């Protein structure tokens, strides 16, 4: 057996200048992350504490989506609106405008939360699911810990002023990715521009989505705005172009207009200055390797994980991907047996080594054929 390295991808060409001032946006804190590779493309004070305001509602919807996914909750389930929930619609906060003793479906409450940013809908959903908003906040914190939001604590379902409802833009970006990755069908609601609530005792109320990027035809399909007097304006936003998605989160924007323009600036900067490459998709990207004494002459190898790499465009010419294995691989070979490594290099430095596994079982040929094959190899050097 001879050890060799097979070059799969040599270089990519796409060079662009890379220059960025430290504070690219007029915000107190901001972060830009590539959705697939998790590469942080830009950050400015990403770990300072913020009050997430209505971005809190991302987690509120995640709790409901998770219960629906586990068949513990249905979109058709109805909850009775308490006076506690109704009072928020009477206090000047963003509201769905539900009434006391209304029976409202989970689906309508979620649409009221996601599109209309209804604080009253948040409380009605929280009380319906957990019995009280306090108990629901405990569920939110358990989920935050599961996701890895290490600098976050939720104290209510809406994000209304509370000193113990805090987070960071890094954690909000992490939560946003979790939402998109785990609930793709439900996530489509975040792109809805309007929601009409056929309210009790009055004409239907039609409200527009507060996310300004949805109206700009730039590929935005989420996620959530926020505002508190103490925090000013915030936005968790995302754009998808072709198959690539970038997430940006900023907080402390001084005005609505700056929140919109600077969030778009962050997202566009990410697309303009970086590229993301799909190196391998779990069980879908196949690498063909030679075998020895097997009933097949080749075997397809796969990775068990998705792997993407994001690079500055000026660095893409230095990307190389190699297959490394002792080959040809001697049969018998068992399915899921580790048979090779996929080596990813940038500037000749290894950035990732991915194990490759056999996608099928290959049995050894019978004794007679094995003997003939071995003699051929000895005489002709042809395995």
> In the sheet that 232-241 helps form, which strands lie side by side, from edge to edge?
40-44, 29-34, 244-253, 232-241, 220-228
Active-site residue list: 54, 57, 117
CB–CB of 287/300 below 8 Å?
A: yes
Check residue 213 and report its DSSP letter.
G
Q: Which residue has tokens 């249905």?
A: 74
Instruction: Collapse the DSSP code of 191 into the 3-class scheme (helix H, G, I; strand E, B; otherwise coil) and give the result.
Output: helix
Q: By C-alpha distance, which of 206, 199, 203, 205 is closest to 99?
A: 199
Query: How many residues are there in the chain?
Result: 383
Task: Please choose, from the candidates 41, 70, 28, 22, the residue with its C-alpha nearest in 3D space to the C-alpha of residue 248.
Answer: 41
Task: Say whether the peptide bond before residue 223 is cis (omega within 30 degrees of 0).
Answer: yes
In contact, 103 and 115? CB cutoff 8 Å: no
332 preceded by a cis bond (ω within 30 of 0): yes
Cα angle 178, 183, 185 (rounded to 5 degrees) comes to: 145
Angle between helices 57-69 and 133-147 (to 10 degrees): 80
Q: DSSP labels for 21-58?
A: -S--SSSSEEEEEETTT--EEEEESTTS-B--GGGGHH
DSSP letter, residue 362: B
Q: Which of 134, 115, 133 is nearest to 124 (CA)?
A: 133
Residues near 7 by Cβ (< 8 Å), separated by ≥ 6? 320, 321, 322
Asked whether 360 and 335 are in contact (CB, 8 A), the reply is yes
């Amino acid at each position: 057996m001879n050890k060799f390295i097979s070059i799969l991808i040599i270089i990519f060409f796409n060079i662009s200048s890379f220059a960025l001032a430290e504070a690219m946006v007029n915000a107190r804190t901001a972060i830009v992350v590539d959705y697939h590779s998790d590469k942080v493309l830009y950050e400015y004070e990403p770990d300072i504490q913020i009050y997430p305001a209505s971005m809190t509602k991302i987690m509120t919807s995640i709790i409901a989506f998770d219960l629906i996914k586990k068949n513990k909750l249905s979109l058709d389930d109805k909850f009775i609106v308490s006076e506690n929930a109704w009072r928020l619609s009477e206090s000047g906060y963003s509201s769905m405008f539900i009434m006391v003793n209304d029976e409202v479906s989970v689906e309508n409450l979620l649409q009221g939360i996601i599109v209309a940013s209804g604080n009253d809908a948040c409380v009605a959903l929280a009380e319906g699911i957990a019995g009280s908003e306090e108990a629901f906040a405990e569920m939110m914190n358990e989920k935050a810990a599961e996701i890895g939001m290490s600098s976050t604590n939720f104290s209510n379902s809406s994000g209304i002023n509370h000193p113990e409802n805090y987070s960071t833009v890094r954690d909000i970006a992490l939560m946003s990715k979790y939402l998109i990755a785990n609930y793709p069908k439900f996530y489509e609601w975040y792109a809805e521009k309007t929601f009409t609530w056929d309210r009790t005792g009055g004409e239907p109320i039609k409200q527009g989505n507060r996310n300004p990027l949805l109206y700009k035809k730039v590929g935005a399909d989420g996620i959530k705005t926020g505002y508190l007097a103490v925090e000013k304006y915030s936005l968790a936003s995302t754009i998808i172009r072709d198959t690539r998605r970038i997430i940006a989160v900023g907080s402390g924007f001084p005005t609505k207009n700056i929140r919109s323009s600077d969030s778009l600036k962050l997202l566009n900067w990410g697309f303009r200055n970086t590229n993301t490459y799909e190196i391998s998709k779990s069980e879908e990207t196949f690498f063909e390797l030679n075998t020895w004494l097997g009933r097949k002459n080749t075997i397809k190898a796969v990775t068990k994980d998705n792997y993407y790499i994001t690079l500055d465009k000026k660095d893409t010419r230095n990307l190389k991907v190699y297959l490394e294995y002792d080959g040809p691989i001697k049969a018998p070979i068992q399915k899921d047996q580790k048979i090779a490594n996929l080596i990813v290099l940038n500037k000749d430095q290894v950035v990732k080594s991915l194990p490759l596994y056999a996608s099928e079982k290959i049995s050894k040929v019978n004794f007679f054929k094995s003997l003939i094959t071995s003699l051929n190899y000895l005489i002709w050097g042809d395995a």
